[in-house]
Structure 1
Amino acid sequence: MDITSSLLDILCGSIISEHIRSDDIGFFDKEKSVSFFRKKAEKHTADKKKNVTLETFDGDILLSERLDRRILPDVPDPTGQRTSFDRRGVVDDPNDVDAVMKKRKSGIRYKSKFPVTVDFRDQDGKAHTLKGESRDISETGILVRLEKEDAEQLKEASETELRFDIPPGSMPEGHEMSIHTAASCVRVFERDGETCAGFEFAEDLGTYMHRHKDRYLYVSSVILLLFISMMVVLMRSESVIYFKYNAVMYSYSIIAAMFLLTRYAFGALYRPVKIDPAFKPSVTIIIPCFNEETWISRTIISCMNQSYPPDKLEVIVVDDCSTDRSVEVIKDTIEKIASAEGERTDIRNRLSYIVQEQNAGKRAALCRGVDVAKGEFVIFVDSDSFLDPYAVVNLVQPFKDPKMGGVAGRTDVANTYTNSLTKMQSVRYYIAFRVMKASEALFDTVTCLSGPLSCYRKSIVKEHEEAWLNQKFLGHKATFGDDRAMTNFVLSHHRTYYQDTAVCSTIVPNKQKVFLKQQMRWKRSWLRESLMAGAFMWRKEPFAALNFYIGLLVPILAPIVVAYNLFYVPFTQHIFPTTFLVGLLLMSLMMSIAQLFFRKSSTWYFGFLFCLYYEVVLLWQMPLAWVTFWKSTWGTRMTPSDVKEKEKRQRHKNAPVDTAEPDAIEKNEGTRAKADAVSGEKHAAPSAGKHAENKRGKHANV
């Protein structure tokens, strides 16, 4: 019997007591009983899915928070009229930022719609069971829709217990599990024609999950990580023994294994810089935007809703001559915020927008914002990235070091639960930041300050502004890879860092075609900028430099090594590549188990699937990147470089040129071809007005 069948049999066994009757299967027959249990399991799973509803937005499944009555609830009130006083009568110490952040997260209510069972006893001690459906849930309580007559019984109830399953996508990753907890009914009321009962949990979900799930996952994942690491080391010792038979391949094997193991080890040692309440320098957030009408409003609001002194925070939106409703949405959002906040936080002087007269590229848009920025630091945020309310205050903390030039925040995937592709990307993003960037941060040499959320000293950006805009490689203008390019300018003479507590979430591609084009673009920019970084990285700390050059060599040679082990050796020497495949399996498992260790999420096994997907599909993009890494076309939207490429192709066909952005790209790809958590590169903005046209018209990609 295979593993899948065994797991299914276990699932079947868990529902026997609920569904089986002795006359259903008669005398025991293995084949018939397994078939019976299989059908019951499939029906059980289908029934659970049928009763769960997740909200979608523009085709993506996103966490849906129940909004506060205020549009900017986390902004400190300079007048002192509003304080951090919560409904439970607790006043937070504003200097204890960690406690305030924890309390805020525990109070976020997420819209939900899944079955809830309520068990209780009446005044006579008689047990009752009610069936309801959730309407929202937080760490501390849940709102349940019930029949009116059922809800009335709860007013005199005692020994109340709740049973429900939190489905993936209803709450942040790691919360998906079965809950059976004591609770108390705090109120019953009518809303929108429904009778609802509000329950407060006897212990918050964080504590409950730690007792029933998290601590066991923590211990088991640590054991598995140690076991996998030991297995990898033992396998590489075999490479040492057989080194003389193929020095090149075994050298690569040893170097690659040690490189990955040290990355995980250094990532485990990483710690973010703690918040100093007294350190809050002036910052300007710059949001470049190109055809992002779907997400730009949410991005602007998240950037304004920061737990940061209002007089030290400025937001500038630069529209890159969008052809959709982006400008209209930007104007409406600014007016909405200004009307709601009034003069209390001086919105009209802190939130502004610029519309470029022509499409000039993301770099020109960012520089246009930098030119008018008032803050000492500038924060670059992509137009489909959403900031946590404490992102800015965390992001600036490493700058207490005067040698620090740039800092990257963590980027999570906002649409994780849309499909399998987004789940794989979610695991990849988290490991790329929490392990890979964290290991680089240990030596203050983060090699990519990702586009969704990164912060720089404005003086450094201004110093390299013209070189950044004019960047060429082998005679071709560099249009994407703006984040890596700026990181190189900063890293060449300053330190760079990764701040894990500065969090934003972003929309990732949910279609294979768009995803593959994005990955091709990233590989080209990675190769280009890594080669350029190689000219100065040798001046950094020896271990950081060694780590960088190995990290450059391993991915470039990977296609050759894989082809040699999977094709050349089996066909020429008739040896099955067992060792190679086991090594690949172990490294894939390490990525998945690391996700389980850090996030306790049900998406952990998608890390394993992503590694397989990478070996089968993404790996083979690298050879193409070798011979096309000078190309400046995006592939997922009609930038000026794409228009020129299209003109060139059509000239050979003697066909008329259509330079308009195709509807299919506009609809399906426009909002997704973006700077990702690892490379952050997206065409989102331009340069504008007469000042911009005169100053850098010669640099525009038109």
Structure 2
Amino acid sequence: MTQPLSAHVHRSGSAFGAAVVLVAAAVWAAHHGLQAGQFEGRTSGRLAAVWSTTFVILLAQTVLYHCERTRRPSPRARRQLDALHVAVLLPVYNEDPGYLKLGLESLIGQTRRPDSVHVVDDGSTSSDYAAVRTWWTAAAAAAGITTTWHRQANAGKREAQAAGVHASPIADVYITVDSDSCLDPYAVDELLLPLARKQVQSVAGIVLATNHRANLLTRVTDLWFTTGQLTDRSALSAMGCVLVNSGPLAAYRAPVVRDNLDSYLHETFLGRPVKFSDDSLLTLYALLRGSTVQQPSAVVFTALPEKPSHFLRMYLRWMRGSTIRSVWRMRYLPVTGWAYWAHFLRWFGLALSTVVVGWLLVVEPLRSGNLPPASFLLVPFLIGWAQALRYLGVVRSDERIRQRAVTWLLMPLAVIASWTVLRVMRWYGAATCARTGWGTRQHGAEVTLGPAVTEDVPEVERTLPLAIPISGT
């Protein structure tokens, strides 16, 4: 068995990080308020209002994500959690066998092992996984884990998950993972803790990259994705209204899945079947029953795209799914709940920032010759670096802090990408949301397990903090 990957989010420096973000935000708002004075009267007033609104939103988010706490149940509640039947749903389609085995090994190495694991091969064309299946069947039996391995004709991820649900009718909790998910040894144990509160219907884990050192793309993506989880999603978690759980690791109370299985399998949009955006739909089902939270001490590693074409296809699928899910949230979420308004503010912020940037960079220069000051481009980088201090709080067993600091310095690349290519793809995805094809891994695995993942790495002492305060659709 390969040496397990592990990570935890460290609390030290959180107060400092919060102070830096708030100071940077205040400087940003004051600076832009002053700069607005160089434009015409009407434009100046509008810009001042925009900066004030944006500052308030940023301030509120910063306060909220520092209010997120790791859930710690009482001894009695812990015993009740230990008695739950936990079933892992693991769909497989054209996955690299190395990543699949790595993930299965991590399930055996859990401090709280799942009671059952249900692997469903959704008609893979690149491999039959015979060697992995033989090894896993024996290893699971030796570990006392009930398991099934089923191969079906290609029908999609949801159908594969449903086959796992049918194979585990007595489960109390379903944990969804991806075929390249590699769980931290404490992941399952920590993921279950928030379920000690009856109102909690789903729990999201923290997703890190297994292959974050593969190239510049994976480094920047890991930085962007991790920072988003520890700011935006953590703020939502503090209000009990996480909008999207990540596929690599999430837990749901069994009725959330079983009671909605028919609608989950037969979702349509504009008359077309929807096969992607499965995690956000399950999260929506959970939101309609109670609260949805994130557990920052439950960590999973996943393989990120290593080629730009793979990343862009994946991101476009996310944005199309996000648009469809937004329609359902507006329709079904109660207007009196935090989730509805958090979702509304997300779209409001996206539209506002797009219009303002277009106005300042295109309309004003062409109409009046007013160019934005150079600092207009610098301040977003400072805000990005300030928020990404959360990234430096993640301690990994396979990476030293100085290596993470180098990645942290790359934040301007993530900011530039989010304001240019990703912004365009966000709106293009919304305009083409009726195209419901999956778009990736159609011709085999697109990321394979490399030696950087399996090499011996230095161990880091794991200390789970009692409280961890820690932006995804």
Q: TM-score under structure 1 normalisation?
A: 0.57
Select which of 611, 618, 625 maps to 2:422.
618
Select which of 377, 398, 406 maps to 2:173.
377
| Matched residue, 2:359 | 564
**Correspondence 1:505 to 2:292:** no
Select which of 483, 504, 507 maps to 2:279.
483
Select which of 254, 262, 278 maps to 2:60.
262
Q: 2: distance between equivalents of 1:431 and 1:422? A: 14
Aligned-pair CA distance for 1:459: 1.2
Q: 2: distance between equivalents of 1:393 and 1:669? A: 29
| Matched residue, 1:546 | 341
Aligned-pair CA distance for 1:598: 5.7
| Matched residue, 1:351 | 147
Q: 2: distance between equivalents of 1:581 and 1:509? A: 28
Q: 2: distance between equivalents of 1:250 and 1:524? A: 33
**Correspondence 1:496 to 2:298:** no
| Matched residue, 1:325 | 127
Q: 1:301 to 1:269 in 2, by over 3 A?
A: same
Q: 2: distance between equivalents of 1:252 and 1:222? A: 23
| Matched residue, 2:229 | 433
Q: 1:388 to 1:248 in 2, by over 3 A?
A: same
| Matched residue, 1:668 | 446
Task: Let me know the Cα RMSD of the aligned residues.
Answer: 3.1
Aligned runs of 1:273-292 on 2, under 5 Å? 273-274=71-72, 276=75, 277-278=78-79, 279-280=81-82, 281-292=84-95
Q: Which protein has greater RCO, CA pairs closer than 8 Å, 6+ apart? A: 2
Task: Give CA-to-partner distance per residue, 1:606-630, whole Å, 9 cap, x none.
Answer: 2222111222321111231232012
Task: Give CA-to-partner distance per residue, 1:633-668, whole Å, 9 cap, x none.
Answer: 122243xxxxxxxxxxxxxxxxxxxxxx4xxxx253
Task: Name the aligned partner's letter for residue 134 of structure 2.
Answer: D
Aligned-pair CA distance for 1:336: 4.6
CA contact (8 A) 1:221 1:593 kept: yes
Aligned-pair CA distance for 1:604: 1.1
Q: 2: distance between equivalents of 1:297 and 1:400? A: 31
Task: Give CA-to-partner distance per residue, 1:358-377, whole Å, 9 cap, x none.
Answer: 10100011111111213210
Task: Name the aligned partner's letter for residue 122 of structure 2.
Answer: D
Aligned runs of 1:238-249 on 2, under 5 Å? 238=34, 245-246=42-43
**Correspondence 1:630 to 2:426:** no
Aligned-pair CA distance for 1:590: 2.5
Q: 1:474 to 1:290 in 2, by over 3 A?
A: same
Three-state SS of the structure 1 residue aligned to 2:435 is coil
CA contact (8 A) 2:177 2:247 kept: yes
May I ask how many residue pairs the two structures share in their alignment?
435
| Matched residue, 1:367 | 162
Q: 2: distance between equivalents of 1:531 and 1:249? A: 30
| Matched residue, 1:104 | none
Q: 1:577 to 1:479 in 2, by over 3 A?
A: same
Aligned-pair CA distance for 1:547: 2.8
| Matched residue, 1:180 | none
Three-state SS of the structure 1 residue aligned to 2:123 is coil
Three-state SS of the structure 1 residue aligned to 2:304 is coil
| Matched residue, 1:473 | 269
Percent of pairs identical after alignment? Answer: 23
Three-state SS of the structure 2 residue aligned to 1:323 is coil
CA contact (8 A) 2:329 2:340 kept: no
Task: Name the aligned partner's letter for residue 567 of structure 1.
Answer: V
Gaps spanning 5+ residues in structure 1: where?
A: 1-64, 68-107, 111-170, 175-205, 207-213, 639-660, 680-702
Aligned runs of 1:651-690 on 2, under 5 Å? 661=443, 666=444, 668=446, 678=472
Task: Name the aligned partner's letter for residue 437 of structure 2.
Answer: T
Q: 1: distance between equivalents of 2:322 and 2:140? A: 41
Task: Give CA-to-partner distance per residue, 1:29-82, whole Å, 9 cap, x none.
Answer: xxxxxxxxxxxxxxxxxxxxxxxxxxxxxxxxxxxx964xxxxxxxxxxxxxxx
Q: 1:255 to 1:333 in 2, by over 3 A?
A: farther
Task: Name the aligned partner's letter for residue 389 of structure 1.
Answer: P
Aligned-pair CA distance for 1:671: 9.0
Task: Name the aligned partner's letter for residue 631 of structure 1.
Answer: R
Report the more deviating stretch, 582-591 or 507-516. Answer: 582-591
Task: Name the aligned partner's letter for residue 27 of structure 2.
Answer: M
| Matched residue, 1:301 | 105
Aligned-pair CA distance for 1:499: 0.5
Aligned runs of 1:59-74 on 2, under 5 Å? 67=3
CA contact (8 A) 2:122 2:160 kept: yes
Task: Give CA-to-partner distance per residue, 1:7-47, whole Å, 9 cap, x none.
Answer: xxxxxxxxxxxxxxxxxxxxxxxxxxxxxxxxxxxxxxxxx
Task: Give CA-to-partner distance per residue, 1:389-424, whole Å, 9 cap, x none.
Answer: 111111111111112211111111111111111111
Select which of 328, 349, 368 maps to 1:532.
328
Aligned-pair CA distance for 1:670: 8.8
Q: 1:379 to 1:220 in 2, by over 3 A?
A: closer
Aligned runs of 1:333-344 on 2, under 5 Å? 333-337=135-139, 341=142
Aligned runs of 1:191-230 on 2, under 5 Å? 221=17, 224-230=20-26
Aligned-pair CA distance for 1:173: 9.9
CA contact (8 A) 2:18 2:62 kept: no
Q: 1:66 to 1:324 in 2, by over 3 A?
A: closer
Select which of 389, 399, 413 maps to 2:195.
399
Aligned-pair CA distance for 1:351: 2.0
Report the more deviating stretch, 391-400 or 378-387. Answer: 391-400
Q: 2: distance between equivalents of 1:669 and 1:479? A: 22
Gaps spanning 5+ residues in structure 2: where?
A: 396-400, 451-470
Task: Give CA-to-partner distance per residue, 1:532-577, whole Å, 9 cap, x none.
Answer: 11224443445x5433211122224543332222222222221121
Three-state SS of the structure 2 residue aligned to 1:295 is helix
CA contact (8 A) 2:209 2:304 kept: yes
**Correspondence 1:457 to 2:278:** no
Three-state SS of the structure 2 residue aligned to 1:354 is strand
Task: Name the aligned partner's letter for residue 612 of structure 1.
Answer: I
Task: Give CA-to-partner distance per residue, 1:298-345, whole Å, 9 cap, x none.
Answer: 11121222112x5x6211111101112243144123245158x3xxx4
Aligned-pair CA distance for 1:432: 1.6
Aligned-pair CA distance for 1:466: 0.7
Q: 1:239 to 1:369 in 2, by over 3 A?
A: farther
Q: 2: distance between equivalents of 1:436 and 1:380? A: 22
Q: 1: distance between equivalents of 2:290 and 2:18? A: 35
| Matched residue, 2:456 | none
CA contact (8 A) 1:283 1:377 kept: yes
Three-state SS of the structure 2 residue aligned to 1:353 is strand
Q: 1:220 to 1:355 in 2, by over 3 A?
A: same
Three-state SS of the structure 2 residue aligned to 1:307 is coil
Task: Name the aligned partner's letter for residue 68 of structure 2.
Answer: Y
| Matched residue, 1:606 | 410
Task: Name the aligned partner's letter for residue 550 of structure 1.
Answer: L
Task: Give CA-to-partner distance per residue, 1:270-290, whole Å, 9 cap, x none.
Answer: 111025542322200110000
| Matched residue, 1:316 | 118
Q: TM-score under structure 2 normalisation?
A: 0.83
